Copies of this chain bind each other. A is one copy, B any other.
Amino acid sequence: MTKIASKSFWHKYQERWQQTGSVLCVGLDPEFSKLPDCVKKAENPIWEFNKAIIDSTAEFACAFKPNLAFYLADGLRGLEALYRTVETIPEEIPVILDCKVGDIGSTMSAYVSAFFNSMQIDAITLNPLMGTDVVKPVLDNGGFAFALCLTSNPSAADFLKQSLAPQIADWILQFPTENLGAVIGATQSSELKTMRSLLPGRIFLIPGIGAQGGDLEAVLRDATDSAEQPNILVNSSRGIIFASNGTDFATAAAREAKLIGNYK
């Protein structure tokens, strides 16, 4: 726990993008059953896997995003793997914990303390259902969060794709650009364009992009804020980390990460 997060997520993101030209977020979703056999026998398999993935993909990554669920699913060993993972990621690459927490008061403060202070991550994803009370502890701590705003899963139609997504976008605008971004998953070009027009200047975390250039090209065209400041992170998880489940898994991950990270 010696890592010191000296810069805000916002600044780390902007600097990292400028240095690398990459808007790739590498999702570290180490689903245990999918780990290559060659790491499964390690003392801490998830940690062994992540270490190799981070080493091989870091140069192409604008950010890393571990997803809490896959670490908790491996119990105490999994949580330890998460701590070690965050410590290992080079200081200049921002780390987003995908946890989608959305609680209030002392409970939300406990999450903020656990993640930003003890674990030293740079940003979290957040579920805004309970309103402004969810964001307060993040702001009080000077942290950064991506609020779920529009998702692309089939049942996003239940609530978000009714009138809720624009309402959440409007709500996000109350908070500083340096503290609150948005998770925007979109399968249609028009949705991305609409969300960008509603949220200029906000960093978008965009999940669900494969290694295919087609998706990526559309996302870059429709969601980018400006050439000087794109304000997007395009996430790929399984397409990178599980590109191969043989002993060459890290090399295969690097190849996929490079395709997205170097895409212009």
- Complex copy number for this chain: 2
**Contact for A69 among B73, B107, B131, B164, CB less than 8 A:** B107
**B-chain residues with CB within 8 Å of residue A162 when the two chains form the complex:** 167
Is residue A214 within 8 Å, beta carbon to beta carbon, of the partner chain? Answer: no
Is residue A2 within 8 Å, beta carbon to beta carbon, of the partner chain? Answer: no
Across the interface, do B69 and A129 meet the contact criterion of CB distance under 8 Å?
Answer: no
In whole Å, how far is A205's beta carbon from the nearest beta carbon of chain B?
14
Across the interface, do A131 and B103 meet the contact criterion of CB distance under 8 Å?
Answer: no
In whole Å, how far is A202's beta carbon from the nearest beta carbon of chain B?
18
**B-chain residues with CB within 8 Å of residue A70 when the two chains form the complex:** 107, 110
Is residue A16 within 8 Å, beta carbon to beta carbon, of the partner chain? Answer: no
**B-chain residues with CB within 8 Å of residue A148 when the two chains form the complex:** 129-130
Is residue A193 within 8 Å, beta carbon to beta carbon, of the partner chain? Answer: no
Across the interface, do B102 and A102 meet the contact criterion of CB distance under 8 Å?
Answer: yes
1/0 per residue, CB under 8 A from B, across A20-33: the answer is: 00000000010100
- Cα separation A130 to B105 with both chains bound (whole Å): 23
Is residue A128 within 8 Å, beta carbon to beta carbon, of the partner chain? Answer: yes
**B-chain residues with CB within 8 Å of residue A134 when the two chains form the complex:** 155
Count A interface residues, CB 8 Å.
51
Report the nearest B residue to A174, measured CB to CB. B158
**B-chain residues with CB within 8 Å of residue A108 when the two chains form the complex:** 69
Contacts A105-B153, A113-B73: A130 and B160 contacting too (C-beta < 8 A)?
Answer: yes
Q: Within residues 172 to 193 of chain A, which ones have a CB less than 8 A from any CB in chain B?
A: none
- Cα separation A83 to B72 with both chains bound (whole Å): 12
Which of A49-57, A74-82, A88-96, A217-225 lies at the interface with chain B?
A74-82
Contacts A29-B106, A31-B106, A106-B29: A73 and B114 contacting too (C-beta < 8 A)?
Answer: yes
Across the interface, do A154 and B129 meet the contact criterion of CB distance under 8 Å?
Answer: no
- Cα separation A162 to B171 with both chains bound (whole Å): 13
Is residue A38 within 8 Å, beta carbon to beta carbon, of the partner chain? Answer: no
**B-chain residues with CB within 8 Å of residue A110 when the two chains form the complex:** 31, 67, 69-70, 72-73
**Contact for A129 among B98, B107, B111, B159, CB less than 8 A:** B159
Across the interface, do B159 and A164 meet the contact criterion of CB distance under 8 Å?
Answer: yes
- Cα separation A210 to B158 with both chains bound (whole Å): 34
In whole Å, how far is A164's beta carbon from the nearest beta carbon of chain B?
7
In whole Å, how far is A143's beta carbon from the nearest beta carbon of chain B?
15
Q: A29-B106, A104-B155, A131-B159 are in contact. List 8 more A-B contacts (CB 8 A).
A: A67-B110, A76-B76, A76-B80, A76-B83, A130-B155, A130-B156, A131-B157, A132-B154
